[in-house]
């Protein structure tokens, strides 16, 4: 038993972090709340795909790097820390889906970054199988050819053109978002959860991204608390600030520990792995939200501006908390009380 990353896993995370700091640094948006133009620079997207970020956990037999959900989890934690745009979550999940459905060509095309996939989170009841029907909240719409739709029973890819997506003005302005409706759309590929638990994988990876948000925004708060002097001392000296930072640290560490535990459980089929993943998503979303609130408050008026960085994390935490499953739906899964099916 060892729940700390091994040397190789640490190295993957460090390599990803170094690339992101260099190539996709986190910047304040100033007045530019909403991205204009492509969601992610085409060159950077291709480079990330070439680095294997979309195929990290895919078996080598399916053209992947051959690592597992654990390494993917560590990648997504870094993507969350860097509030990186781009359809990484649906891309990774869709490559797994295509591979599990036996369409290796599609899996490798998606993993190469050549075909982008959007993510459709069900709004109300959505039927997912050979045909897909229902309302969807669609993220990473920009330049996507397919939409990944999944729940705890199955997952499917459908053509985005068949989903009638209307783009909205999103709160998280770096991620292109819309509403879609699949009206008995025929799936390109689909797979049931017993064959490949795409939804549960997604919960772990979204949890990892929210963990990264919770950690990075805490670091901003701590740096500001060490720097900002009022009443003659750095404000982090005062317990009102210090203790809030400590609570934020407990939340972030808990999120990271649970994301790690859940990733190992899902990878190795240990215990109640689906529940572990739901718990990981719930605690990470909570930590991300609470830490964003704390970081804005600790930054004072500066925290309310779009020139300081906390707002970027506020937006991302808001989106992640509405990705794949809501807080209430996660809690109902955790207690074994599925309202949708009752």
Partner 1 sequence: MDLDFTPDERAFRDEVRAWLADHVPTEPRPHGDGPDSREFDLAWQRAQYDGGWAGISWPAEFGGRGLSTIQQLIWYEEYASADAPWIGACFVGINHGGPTLIARADDEQKSFHLPRILRGDVVWCQGFSEPEAGSDLANIKTRAVVDGDELVVTGQKIWTSFANMADYQELLLRTDPESSRHKGLTWVICDMSAPGITTRPISTLDRGAEFCEVFYDEVRIPISNVVGDIGDGWSVAMSTLSLERGTGFMAEIIDTTKTIDDLIELARHRTGPDGRRPLIADDEYARRLAALKAEITTLRSMAYRAISRNRRAGQPGPEGSMLRLGYGNLLQSMARLAMDMLGTDALVYIDRFRSGGWSGMWLRSFASGMGGGTFEIQRNIIGERVLGLPRDRS
Residues that bind partner 1 (CB under 8 A): 1-6, 9, 70, 222, 225-226, 233-234, 236-239, 241-243, 245-247, 249-250, 253-258, 260-265, 268, 270, 276, 279, 282-283, 328, 331-332, 334-335, 337
- Please name which of 136, 165, 140 lies closest in space to residue 150, comparing C-alpha atoms: 136
Nearer Cβ to partner 1 (143/253): 253
- What is the Cα–Cα distance from 278 to 266, expressed in whole angstroms? 11
| In the complex, minimum distance from the CB of residue 249 to partner 1, in angstroms, rounded to a whole number | 6
- Please name which of 22, 18, 24, 96 lies closest in space to residue 10, comparing C-alpha atoms: 18
| In the complex, minimum distance from the CB of residue 233 to partner 1, in angstroms, rounded to a whole number | 7
Nearer Cβ to partner 1 (225/296): 225
Nearer Cβ to partner 1 (8/169): 8
| In the complex, minimum distance from the CB of residue 110 to partner 1, in angstroms, rounded to a whole number | 26
| In the complex, minimum distance from the CB of residue 276 to partner 1, in angstroms, rounded to a whole number | 7
| In the complex, minimum distance from the CB of residue 268 to partner 1, in angstroms, rounded to a whole number | 7
Q: Which helix (H) or strand (E) holds 83?
A: none
Residue bearing tokens 């897909």:
132
- What is the Cα–Cα distance from 302 to 193, expressed in whole angstroms? 46
| In the complex, minimum distance from the CB of residue 238 to partner 1, in angstroms, rounded to a whole number | 7
Nearer Cβ to partner 1 (48/203): 203
Instruction: Kindly state the tokens that stand for 11.
Output: 């190295």
- What is the Cα–Cα distance from 215 to 221, expressed in whole angstroms? 10
Query: Based on the number of CB atoms within 10 Å of its own CB, is 320 exposed (0-12), middle (13-18) or buried (19 or more)?
Result: buried
Instruction: Kindly state the tokens that stand for 289.
Output: 């939200």
- Please name which of 132, 131, 127, 137 lies closest in space to residue 166, comparing C-alpha atoms: 137
- What is the Cα–Cα distance from 237 to 177, expressed in whole angstroms? 41
Nearer Cβ to partner 1 (146/330): 330
**In 3-state terms, what secondary structure has residue 192?**
strand
């Amino acid at each position: 038993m060892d729940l700390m990353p091994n040397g190789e896993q640490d190295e993957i995370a460090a390599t990803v972090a170094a690339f992101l700091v260099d190539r996709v640094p986190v910047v304040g948006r100033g007045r530019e709340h909403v991205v204009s133009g492509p969601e992610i620079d085409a060159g950077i997207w291709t480079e990330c795909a070439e680095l294997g970020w979309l195929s990290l956990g895919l078996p080598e037999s399916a053209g992947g790097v051959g690592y597992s959900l654990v390494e993917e989890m560590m990648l997504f934690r870094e993507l969350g820390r860097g509030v990186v745009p781009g359809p990484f979550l649906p891309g990774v999940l869709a490559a797994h889906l295509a591979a599990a459905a036996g369409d290796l060509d599609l899996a490798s095309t998606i993993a190469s970054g050549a075909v982008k996939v959007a993510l459709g989170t069900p709004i109300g009841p959505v039927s997912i199988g050979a045909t897909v029907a229902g309302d969807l909240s669609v993220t990473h719409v920009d330049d996507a050819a397919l939409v990944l739709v999944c729940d705890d029973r199955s997952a499917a890819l459908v053509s985005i053109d068949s989903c009638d997506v209307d783009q909205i003005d999103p709160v998280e302005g770096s991620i292109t978002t819309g509403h879609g409706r699949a009206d008995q759309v025929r799936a390109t590929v689909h797979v049931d959860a017993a064959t490949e638990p795409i939804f549960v994988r997604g919960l772990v990876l979204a949890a990892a991204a929210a963990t990264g948000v919770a950690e990075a925004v805490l670091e901003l708060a701590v740096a500001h608390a060490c720097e900002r002097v009022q009443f003659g001392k750095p404000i982090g000296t005062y317990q009102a600030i210090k203790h809030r930072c400590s609570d934020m640290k407990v939340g972030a560490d808990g999120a990271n520990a649970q994301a790690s535990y859940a990733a190992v459980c899902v990878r190795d089929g240990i215990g109640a792995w689906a529940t572990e993943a739901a718990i990981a998503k719930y605690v990470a979303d909570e930590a991300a939200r609470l830490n964003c609130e704390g970081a804005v408050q600790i930054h004072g008026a500066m925290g309310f501006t779009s020139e300081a960085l906390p707002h970027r994390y506020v937006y991302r935490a808001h989106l992640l908390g509405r990705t794949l499953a809501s807080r209430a739906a996660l809690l109902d899964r955790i207690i074994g009380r599925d309202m949708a099916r009752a």
